[in-house]
Structure 1
Protein backbone atom coordinates (compact mmCIF):
# COMPACT_ATOMS: atom_id res chain seq x y z
CA UNK A 1 0.00 0.00 0.00
CA UNK A 2 1.59 3.25 -1.12
CA UNK A 3 1.75 6.19 1.26
CA UNK A 4 0.85 9.74 0.23
CA UNK A 5 4.54 10.61 -0.04
CA UNK A 6 5.23 7.51 -2.14
CA UNK A 7 2.44 8.45 -4.52
CA UNK A 8 3.77 11.99 -4.84
CA UNK A 9 7.25 10.68 -5.58
CA UNK A 10 5.87 8.22 -8.13
CA UNK A 11 3.96 11.06 -9.79
CA UNK A 12 7.09 13.20 -9.68
CA UNK A 13 9.57 10.72 -11.18
CA UNK A 14 7.23 9.39 -13.87
CA UNK A 15 6.31 12.98 -14.77
CA UNK A 16 9.94 14.10 -15.00
CA UNK A 17 10.80 11.10 -17.17
CA UNK A 18 7.92 11.98 -19.48
CA UNK A 19 9.19 15.57 -19.61
CA UNK A 20 12.62 14.28 -20.63
CA UNK A 21 11.05 12.04 -23.28
CA UNK A 22 9.12 15.00 -24.68
CA UNK A 23 12.41 16.81 -25.30
CA UNK A 24 13.86 13.85 -27.23
CA UNK A 25 10.63 13.31 -29.16
CA UNK A 26 10.43 17.03 -29.94
CA UNK A 27 14.01 17.21 -31.23
CA UNK A 28 13.45 14.20 -33.48
CA UNK A 29 10.20 15.57 -34.88
CA UNK A 30 11.82 18.89 -35.78
CA UNK A 31 12.82 17.09 -38.98
CA UNK A 32 9.23 17.59 -40.14
CA UNK A 33 10.06 21.26 -40.71
CA UNK A 34 12.70 20.39 -43.31
CA UNK A 35 11.90 20.66 -47.04
CA UNK A 36 9.41 17.91 -47.89
CA UNK A 37 11.75 15.63 -49.85
CA UNK A 38 14.54 15.88 -47.28
CA UNK A 39 12.09 15.47 -44.39
CA UNK A 40 10.62 12.39 -46.07
CA UNK A 41 13.96 10.62 -46.32
CA UNK A 42 15.43 11.69 -42.97
CA UNK A 43 12.31 11.16 -40.88
CA UNK A 44 11.80 7.62 -42.17
CA UNK A 45 15.48 6.76 -41.67
CA UNK A 46 15.29 8.18 -38.15
CA UNK A 47 12.14 6.17 -37.37
CA UNK A 48 13.72 3.01 -38.77
CA UNK A 49 16.81 3.52 -36.61
CA UNK A 50 14.70 3.97 -33.48
CA UNK A 51 12.58 0.88 -34.18
CA UNK A 52 15.65 -1.36 -34.47
CA UNK A 53 17.66 -0.01 -31.55
CA UNK A 54 17.62 -2.19 -28.41
CA UNK A 55 18.31 0.77 -26.11
CA UNK A 56 15.37 2.68 -27.60
CA UNK A 57 13.17 -0.40 -27.16
CA UNK A 58 14.04 -0.52 -23.46
CA UNK A 59 13.36 3.20 -23.12
CA UNK A 60 10.03 2.72 -24.89
CA UNK A 61 8.96 0.12 -22.31
CA UNK A 62 9.89 2.57 -19.56
CA UNK A 63 7.84 5.19 -21.41
CA UNK A 64 4.72 3.01 -21.62
CA UNK A 65 5.07 2.04 -17.97
CA UNK A 66 5.54 5.68 -16.94
CA UNK A 67 2.42 6.80 -18.82
CA UNK A 68 0.31 4.07 -17.22
CA UNK A 69 1.66 4.62 -13.70
CA UNK A 70 1.41 8.41 -14.01
CA UNK A 71 -2.21 8.17 -15.16
CA UNK A 72 -3.24 5.60 -12.54
CA UNK A 73 -1.51 7.52 -9.77
CA UNK A 74 -3.28 10.71 -10.86
CA UNK A 75 -6.64 8.93 -10.73
CA UNK A 76 -5.97 7.60 -7.21
CA UNK A 77 -4.78 11.01 -5.96
CA UNK A 78 -7.79 12.75 -7.52
CA UNK A 79 -10.24 10.29 -5.91
CA UNK A 80 -8.57 10.59 -2.50
CA UNK A 81 -8.54 14.38 -2.67
CA UNK A 82 -12.21 14.52 -3.64
CA UNK A 83 -13.12 12.25 -0.76
CA UNK A 84 -11.21 14.46 1.62
CA UNK A 85 -12.75 17.61 0.12
CA UNK A 86 -9.48 18.91 -1.35
CA UNK A 87 -8.79 20.05 -4.88
CA UNK A 88 -6.32 18.14 -7.02
CA UNK A 89 -2.79 19.35 -6.29
CA UNK A 90 -4.08 22.58 -4.79
CA UNK A 91 -1.21 24.70 -3.54
CA UNK A 92 -2.06 25.48 0.06
CA UNK A 93 0.82 27.93 0.31
CA UNK A 94 -0.77 30.34 -2.15
CA UNK A 95 -3.79 32.48 -1.39
CA UNK A 96 -5.43 31.45 -4.64
CA UNK A 97 -4.25 28.56 -6.80
CA UNK A 98 -4.31 28.86 -10.56
CA UNK A 99 -7.24 27.36 -12.45
CA UNK A 100 -4.97 24.83 -14.15
CA UNK A 101 -3.66 23.72 -10.75
CA UNK A 102 -7.21 23.00 -9.67
CA UNK A 103 -8.01 21.14 -12.90
CA UNK A 104 -4.97 18.96 -13.45
CA UNK A 105 -7.23 15.92 -13.57
CA UNK A 106 -9.23 17.41 -16.45
CA UNK A 107 -6.10 18.45 -18.33
CA UNK A 108 -4.57 15.03 -17.76
CA UNK A 109 -7.70 13.33 -19.10
CA UNK A 110 -7.58 15.42 -22.27
CA UNK A 111 -3.92 14.50 -22.75
CA UNK A 112 -4.62 10.81 -22.12
CA UNK A 113 -7.42 10.76 -24.70
CA UNK A 114 -5.10 12.49 -27.16
CA UNK A 115 -2.38 9.90 -26.50
CA UNK A 116 -4.79 7.06 -27.28
CA UNK A 117 -5.69 8.70 -30.61
CA UNK A 118 -2.05 9.57 -31.32
CA UNK A 119 -0.78 6.06 -30.58
CA UNK A 120 -3.52 4.51 -32.70
CA UNK A 121 -2.79 6.74 -35.71
CA UNK A 122 0.98 6.37 -35.68
CA UNK A 123 2.51 3.84 -33.27
CA UNK A 124 -0.07 1.08 -33.76
CA UNK A 125 -0.12 1.33 -37.56
CA UNK A 126 3.68 1.56 -37.72
CA UNK A 127 4.16 -1.46 -35.44
CA UNK A 128 1.25 -3.73 -36.30
CA UNK A 129 -0.37 -2.33 -39.44
CA UNK A 130 0.73 -2.32 -43.05
CA UNK A 131 2.20 1.14 -43.66
CA UNK A 132 3.59 1.97 -47.12
CA UNK A 133 7.30 1.46 -47.83
CA UNK A 134 9.52 4.29 -49.08
CA UNK A 135 12.15 4.11 -51.81
CA UNK A 136 14.82 3.08 -49.28
CA UNK A 137 12.80 0.13 -48.01
CA UNK A 138 11.82 1.78 -44.72
CA UNK A 139 8.30 1.97 -43.35
CA UNK A 140 6.92 5.29 -44.57
CA UNK A 141 5.97 6.93 -41.28
CA UNK A 142 6.38 10.35 -42.89
CA UNK A 143 3.50 9.68 -45.28
CA UNK A 144 1.35 8.52 -42.35
CA UNK A 145 2.13 11.76 -40.52
CA UNK A 146 1.44 13.97 -43.55
CA UNK A 147 -1.78 12.14 -44.40
CA UNK A 148 -3.05 12.49 -40.83
CA UNK A 149 -2.03 16.15 -40.50
CA UNK A 150 -3.90 17.00 -43.71
CA UNK A 151 -7.14 16.40 -41.80
CA UNK A 152 -8.27 19.71 -40.32
CA UNK A 153 -10.15 18.07 -37.45
CA UNK A 154 -7.02 16.21 -36.34
CA UNK A 155 -5.01 19.43 -36.46
CA UNK A 156 -7.62 21.09 -34.22
CA UNK A 157 -7.56 18.18 -31.76
CA UNK A 158 -3.76 18.19 -31.78
CA UNK A 159 -3.47 21.94 -31.12
CA UNK A 160 -6.08 21.93 -28.35
CA UNK A 161 -4.32 18.96 -26.75
CA UNK A 162 -1.04 20.87 -26.83
CA UNK A 163 -2.75 23.78 -25.03
CA UNK A 164 -3.83 21.31 -22.33
CA UNK A 165 -0.29 19.87 -22.26
CA UNK A 166 1.21 23.34 -21.81
CA UNK A 167 -0.82 24.13 -18.71
CA UNK A 168 -0.35 20.59 -17.40
CA UNK A 169 3.42 20.95 -17.72
CA UNK A 170 3.53 24.42 -16.17
CA UNK A 171 2.00 23.11 -12.96
CA UNK A 172 3.58 19.66 -13.15
CA UNK A 173 7.19 20.82 -13.47
CA UNK A 174 6.77 23.32 -10.64
CA UNK A 175 5.10 20.69 -8.45
CA UNK A 176 7.80 18.09 -9.19
CA UNK A 177 10.56 20.50 -8.15
CA UNK A 178 8.78 21.12 -4.86
CA UNK A 179 8.25 17.40 -4.27
CA UNK A 180 11.99 16.81 -4.66
CA UNK A 181 12.66 19.46 -2.02
CA UNK A 182 14.39 21.81 -4.46
CA UNK A 183 11.89 24.57 -3.79
CA UNK A 184 13.79 27.55 -2.38
CA UNK A 185 12.41 31.12 -2.02
CA UNK A 186 15.60 32.57 -3.50
CA UNK A 187 15.30 30.59 -6.73
CA UNK A 188 11.55 29.97 -6.96
CA UNK A 189 10.95 32.68 -9.57
CA UNK A 190 13.85 31.50 -11.73
CA UNK A 191 12.74 27.85 -11.50
CA UNK A 192 9.14 28.76 -12.28
CA UNK A 193 10.15 30.85 -15.30
CA UNK A 194 12.33 28.01 -16.62
CA UNK A 195 9.41 25.60 -16.17
CA UNK A 196 7.07 27.95 -18.03
CA UNK A 197 9.60 28.45 -20.84
CA UNK A 198 10.06 24.68 -21.21
CA UNK A 199 6.29 24.09 -21.22
CA UNK A 200 5.58 26.79 -23.80
CA UNK A 201 8.45 25.84 -26.14
CA UNK A 202 7.57 22.14 -26.11
CA UNK A 203 3.81 22.66 -26.52
CA UNK A 204 3.98 25.43 -29.15
CA UNK A 205 6.67 23.52 -31.03
CA UNK A 206 4.57 20.36 -31.21
CA UNK A 207 1.43 22.35 -32.10
CA UNK A 208 3.22 24.03 -35.01
CA UNK A 209 4.09 20.69 -36.63
CA UNK A 210 0.56 19.72 -37.80
CA UNK A 211 -0.18 23.36 -38.64
CA UNK A 212 2.97 23.58 -40.78
CA UNK A 213 2.23 20.35 -42.64
CA UNK A 214 -1.45 21.20 -43.11
CA UNK A 215 -0.63 24.49 -44.83
CA UNK A 216 2.47 23.41 -46.75
CA UNK A 217 1.95 19.81 -47.86
Structure 2
Protein backbone atom coordinates (compact mmCIF):
# COMPACT_ATOMS: atom_id res chain seq x y z
CA UNK A 1 0.00 0.00 0.00
CA UNK A 2 3.06 2.24 -0.13
CA UNK A 3 2.07 3.40 -3.61
CA UNK A 4 -1.32 4.57 -2.30
CA UNK A 5 0.29 6.51 0.55
CA UNK A 6 2.78 8.07 -1.85
CA UNK A 7 0.02 9.00 -4.29
CA UNK A 8 -2.19 10.60 -1.63
CA UNK A 9 0.74 12.57 -0.28
CA UNK A 10 1.69 13.98 -3.67
CA UNK A 11 0.45 17.42 -4.68
CA UNK A 12 -1.88 15.91 -7.29
CA UNK A 13 -3.10 13.26 -4.84
CA UNK A 14 -4.01 15.88 -2.26
CA UNK A 15 -5.96 17.88 -4.83
CA UNK A 16 -7.77 14.76 -6.05
CA UNK A 17 -8.68 13.81 -2.47
CA UNK A 18 -9.95 17.35 -1.88
CA UNK A 19 -12.06 17.16 -5.04
CA UNK A 20 -13.54 13.72 -4.29
CA UNK A 21 -14.40 14.48 -0.65
CA UNK A 22 -15.71 17.90 -1.69
CA UNK A 23 -18.11 16.44 -4.27
CA UNK A 24 -19.20 13.82 -1.73
CA UNK A 25 -20.09 16.60 0.71
CA UNK A 26 -21.83 18.49 -2.10
CA UNK A 27 -24.13 15.50 -2.64
CA UNK A 28 -24.86 15.35 1.10
CA UNK A 29 -25.85 19.03 1.13
CA UNK A 30 -28.54 18.32 -1.46
CA UNK A 31 -30.12 15.68 0.80
CA UNK A 32 -29.71 17.77 3.96
CA UNK A 33 -31.10 20.91 2.35
CA UNK A 34 -33.98 18.99 0.79
CA UNK A 35 -35.02 17.54 4.16
CA UNK A 36 -34.72 20.88 5.96
CA UNK A 37 -36.64 22.67 3.21
CA UNK A 38 -39.73 20.61 4.07
CA UNK A 39 -40.36 23.12 6.87
CA UNK A 40 -41.60 25.46 4.12
CA UNK A 41 -44.56 23.11 3.63
CA UNK A 42 -45.87 24.99 6.67
CA UNK A 43 -47.43 21.86 8.17
CA UNK A 44 -46.17 22.46 11.69
CA UNK A 45 -43.02 20.47 11.04
CA UNK A 46 -44.87 17.16 10.55
CA UNK A 47 -43.04 16.25 7.32
CA UNK A 48 -39.72 17.50 8.66
CA UNK A 49 -40.03 15.51 11.89
CA UNK A 50 -40.99 12.36 9.99
CA UNK A 51 -37.97 12.74 7.73
CA UNK A 52 -35.65 13.48 10.65
CA UNK A 53 -36.91 10.40 12.52
CA UNK A 54 -36.35 8.21 9.47
CA UNK A 55 -32.80 9.56 9.11
CA UNK A 56 -32.11 8.94 12.81
CA UNK A 57 -33.40 5.34 12.90
CA UNK A 58 -32.53 3.94 9.48
CA UNK A 59 -29.39 1.75 9.86
CA UNK A 60 -28.18 2.53 6.34
CA UNK A 61 -28.47 6.27 6.96
CA UNK A 62 -26.71 5.93 10.32
CA UNK A 63 -23.87 4.04 8.63
CA UNK A 64 -23.63 6.73 5.95
CA UNK A 65 -23.49 9.28 8.77
CA UNK A 66 -20.21 7.73 9.88
CA UNK A 67 -18.94 7.79 6.30
CA UNK A 68 -20.00 11.43 6.08
CA UNK A 69 -18.05 12.39 9.19
CA UNK A 70 -15.05 10.53 7.79
CA UNK A 71 -15.33 12.38 4.48
CA UNK A 72 -15.68 15.69 6.26
CA UNK A 73 -12.62 15.00 8.42
CA UNK A 74 -10.59 14.01 5.35
CA UNK A 75 -11.70 17.17 3.55
CA UNK A 76 -10.65 19.37 6.49
CA UNK A 77 -7.30 17.64 7.01
CA UNK A 78 -6.52 17.63 3.30
CA UNK A 79 -7.39 21.32 3.05
CA UNK A 80 -5.01 22.00 5.93
CA UNK A 81 -2.25 20.02 4.20
CA UNK A 82 -2.72 21.96 0.96
CA UNK A 83 -2.67 25.25 2.85
CA UNK A 84 0.57 24.27 4.60
CA UNK A 85 2.11 23.21 1.29
CA UNK A 86 1.29 26.60 -0.21
CA UNK A 87 2.85 28.35 2.79
CA UNK A 88 6.06 26.29 2.40
CA UNK A 89 6.30 27.10 -1.29
CA UNK A 90 5.96 30.80 -0.52
CA UNK A 91 7.62 31.38 2.89
CA UNK A 92 7.95 35.11 2.18
CA UNK A 93 4.87 36.92 0.96
CA UNK A 94 5.06 38.95 -2.21
CA UNK A 95 5.63 42.64 -1.68
CA UNK A 96 2.72 43.50 -3.97
CA UNK A 97 -0.12 41.10 -4.69
CA UNK A 98 -2.71 41.90 -7.31
CA UNK A 99 -4.77 38.79 -6.82
CA UNK A 100 -7.90 40.38 -8.26
CA UNK A 101 -6.20 40.48 -11.64
CA UNK A 102 -6.20 36.67 -11.89
CA UNK A 103 -8.86 35.32 -9.53
CA UNK A 104 -11.88 36.14 -7.40
CA UNK A 105 -11.34 37.03 -3.75
CA UNK A 106 -13.23 33.95 -2.56
CA UNK A 107 -10.95 31.72 -4.67
CA UNK A 108 -7.98 33.14 -2.77
CA UNK A 109 -9.76 32.88 0.59
CA UNK A 110 -10.77 29.22 0.69
CA UNK A 111 -8.70 28.69 3.84
CA UNK A 112 -10.49 31.50 5.67
CA UNK A 113 -13.91 30.47 4.38
CA UNK A 114 -13.20 26.86 5.35
CA UNK A 115 -12.21 27.91 8.87
CA UNK A 116 -15.39 29.98 9.27
CA UNK A 117 -17.43 27.04 8.00
CA UNK A 118 -15.77 24.70 10.49
CA UNK A 119 -16.66 27.02 13.39
CA UNK A 120 -20.21 27.30 12.06
CA UNK A 121 -20.44 23.52 11.68
CA UNK A 122 -19.42 22.98 15.31
CA UNK A 123 -22.21 25.34 16.43
CA UNK A 124 -24.69 23.64 14.10
CA UNK A 125 -23.80 20.14 15.31
CA UNK A 126 -24.13 21.26 18.92
CA UNK A 127 -27.56 22.75 18.31
CA UNK A 128 -29.12 19.87 16.40
CA UNK A 129 -27.00 16.73 15.93
CA UNK A 130 -25.91 16.60 19.57
CA UNK A 131 -29.47 17.39 20.70
CA UNK A 132 -31.07 14.69 18.57
CA UNK A 133 -28.44 11.96 18.87
CA UNK A 134 -26.72 12.29 22.25
CA UNK A 135 -29.40 13.60 24.62
CA UNK A 136 -32.79 12.41 25.84
CA UNK A 137 -34.39 15.79 25.16
CA UNK A 138 -36.00 14.71 21.89
CA UNK A 139 -39.55 13.57 22.70
CA UNK A 140 -42.98 13.48 21.10
CA UNK A 141 -43.75 16.69 22.97
CA UNK A 142 -40.48 18.42 22.06
CA UNK A 143 -39.58 17.52 18.48
CA UNK A 144 -36.59 18.54 16.41
CA UNK A 145 -38.79 21.11 14.70
CA UNK A 146 -39.65 22.59 18.11
CA UNK A 147 -35.93 22.73 18.86
CA UNK A 148 -35.33 24.63 15.61
CA UNK A 149 -37.98 27.14 16.65
CA UNK A 150 -36.34 27.54 20.07
CA UNK A 151 -32.80 27.91 18.69
CA UNK A 152 -33.76 30.43 16.01
CA UNK A 153 -35.73 32.56 18.45
CA UNK A 154 -32.41 34.25 19.21
CA UNK A 155 -31.49 37.00 16.72
CA UNK A 156 -27.79 36.46 17.48
CA UNK A 157 -28.01 32.80 16.46
CA UNK A 158 -29.89 33.75 13.29
CA UNK A 159 -27.15 36.24 12.33
CA UNK A 160 -24.47 33.58 12.96
CA UNK A 161 -26.33 31.08 10.78
CA UNK A 162 -26.87 33.56 7.95
CA UNK A 163 -23.18 34.52 7.99
CA UNK A 164 -22.32 30.81 8.01
CA UNK A 165 -24.56 30.26 4.98
CA UNK A 166 -22.91 33.17 3.14
CA UNK A 167 -19.50 31.59 3.83
CA UNK A 168 -20.86 28.27 2.57
CA UNK A 169 -22.13 29.90 -0.61
CA UNK A 170 -18.77 31.47 -1.44
CA UNK A 171 -16.94 28.25 -0.53
CA UNK A 172 -19.16 26.29 -2.92
CA UNK A 173 -18.90 28.95 -5.61
CA UNK A 174 -15.20 28.20 -6.02
CA UNK A 175 -15.06 24.63 -4.71
CA UNK A 176 -17.65 23.13 -7.08
CA UNK A 177 -15.87 24.17 -10.27
CA UNK A 178 -12.43 23.62 -8.76
CA UNK A 179 -13.30 20.00 -7.90
CA UNK A 180 -14.10 19.19 -11.53
CA UNK A 181 -10.92 20.91 -12.63
CA UNK A 182 -8.84 18.83 -10.19
CA UNK A 183 -10.44 15.66 -11.56
CA UNK A 184 -9.32 16.67 -15.05
CA UNK A 185 -12.82 17.49 -16.28
CA UNK A 186 -11.75 20.87 -17.57
CA UNK A 187 -12.59 21.59 -21.19
CA UNK A 188 -13.48 24.84 -23.01
CA UNK A 189 -16.70 23.18 -24.18
CA UNK A 190 -17.89 22.01 -20.76
CA UNK A 191 -16.25 24.30 -18.19
CA UNK A 192 -18.67 27.24 -18.73
CA UNK A 193 -21.61 24.88 -18.11
CA UNK A 194 -19.96 23.46 -14.99
CA UNK A 195 -19.36 27.00 -13.71
CA UNK A 196 -23.01 27.94 -14.30
CA UNK A 197 -24.29 24.80 -12.56
CA UNK A 198 -21.86 25.39 -9.69
CA UNK A 199 -22.93 29.02 -9.30
CA UNK A 200 -26.63 28.09 -9.35
CA UNK A 201 -26.03 25.27 -6.86
CA UNK A 202 -24.05 27.51 -4.48
CA UNK A 203 -26.65 30.28 -4.54
CA UNK A 204 -29.68 27.99 -4.15
CA UNK A 205 -28.18 25.89 -1.34
CA UNK A 206 -26.88 28.91 0.60
CA UNK A 207 -30.12 30.86 0.11
CA UNK A 208 -32.33 27.98 1.25
CA UNK A 209 -30.23 27.29 4.34
CA UNK A 210 -30.20 31.00 5.23
CA UNK A 211 -33.95 31.35 4.64
CA UNK A 212 -34.78 28.70 7.25
CA UNK A 213 -33.58 30.49 10.40
CA UNK A 214 -34.94 33.80 9.08
CA UNK A 215 -38.39 32.32 8.39
CA UNK A 216 -38.55 30.62 11.78
CA UNK A 217 -37.32 33.68 13.67
CA UNK A 218 -39.93 35.97 12.13
CA UNK A 219 -42.69 33.33 12.40
CA UNK A 220 -43.20 33.25 8.65
CA UNK A 221 -43.82 29.51 9.01
CA UNK A 222 -45.41 27.62 11.88
TM-score, normalised to structure 1's length?
A: 0.90
In structure 2, the partner of 1:45 is: 50
| C-alpha deviation, 1:39, in angstroms | 3.4
Check the 8 A contact 1:133/1:140 in 2, yes or no. Answer: yes
- Counterparts of 1:147 and 1:128 in 2: how far apart (Å)? 18
What residue ranges of structure 2 are gaps of 5+ in the alignment? 94-99
Residue 25 of structure 2 is aligned to residue 18 of structure 1: yes
- Counterparts of 2:191 and 2:24 in 1: how far apart (Å)? 21
- Counterparts of 1:25 and 1:132 in 2: how far apart (Å)? 19
- Counterparts of 1:23 and 1:125 in 2: how far apart (Å)? 22
How big is each residue's C-alpha offset from its partner over 1:95-139, in whole Å with a ceiling of 9 and x where there is no partner?
A: 51111111100000000000000001110111111224225xxx6
In structure 2, the partner of 1:149 is: 152
In structure 1, the partner of 2:67 is: 62
| C-alpha deviation, 1:48, in angstroms | 1.1
Higher relative contact order (CA 8 A, sep 6+): 2
In structure 1, the partner of 2:96 is: none
SS in 2 for 1:99: coil
Matches within 5 A, 1:113-132: 113-132=119-138
RMSD: 1.7
Check the 8 A contact 2:131/2:138 in 1, yes or no. Answer: no
| C-alpha deviation, 1:79, in angstroms | 0.9
Which portions of structure 1, spanning 4 or more consecutive aligned residues, are displaced by more than 6 angstroms? none
Residue 63 of structure 2 is aligned to residue 83 of structure 1: no
